Amino acid sequence: MRVRSSSTRNIHGWFLAVLLVFAAGCGRNTGKVSIGGDVSYDGQPVATGTIIFTPVEGTQGPSTGAGIEAGRYQVPAQKGPLAGGRYKVEITALRKTGKALPNMFDPKGQSLEAVEQFVPECYNARSKLMVTVTPGANKADFPLRSSGE
């Protein structure tokens, strides 16, 4: 039977302590939170689109976003923005125009229905929409107007 020295036990004890510290850090809160809400245009829910949150004014973290479906969007906490930050919001949405476009890739020659970006630039390319994200679940609704106000 072999007896371990006290120095060997101490090394194993330190190794175990360090391992536990790293393991505890793996499940820690990243500071990301969920955000969701409603998006409407002139009082009607936006059927499909995208919403993007871009950090501004010293806020840390990458941009994030989600699809808009039936006037609703939801960014889960795993992919969400960081709490305590300020974000620029950009919203885009497409709608059918009723016009047909030739489809060069369809051997049968069936046309495609044209779509257009209908949300004014003041809500996307030149957006002034901002939101401050707080700890916990966040709700931010965006009632957009064709007048841009």
Report how many domains make up the chain: 1
Which of 56, 49, 58, 63 has its CA nearest to residue 91?
A: 49
Return the SS3 of 111.
coil
Residue 28 within any structural domain of the chain: no
Q: Is residue 18 in some structural domain?
A: no
pLDDT score recorded for residue 148 = 80
Q: What per-residue confidence (pLDDT) applies to 134?
A: 95
Examine residue 14 and state whether it is found in any structural domain, yes or no.
no
Residue 13 to residue 4: CA distance in whole angstroms: 13
Residue 81 belongs to what domain range?
35-141
Asked if the structure places residue 45 within a domain, the reply is yes
pLDDT in the model for residue 45 = 97
Q: Is residue 27 part of a domain?
A: no
Per-residue pLDDT of the chain in tens (149 residues, 90 and over written 9)? 555 554 444 444 444 343 333 444 444 457 999 999 999 999 999 999 999 999 998 998 889 999 999 999 999 999 999 999 999 999 999 988 888 888 888 788 788 888 889 999 999 999 999 999 999 999 999 999 998 87
- Residue 110 forms beta bridges with which residues? none
**Would you say residue 9 lies in a domain?**
no
Residue 104 belongs to some domain of the structure: yes
CA-based torsion, 74, 127, 130, 147: positive or negative: negative
The reply to whether 19 falls in a domain is no
Q: How far apart are the first and last CA of the chain?
A: 83
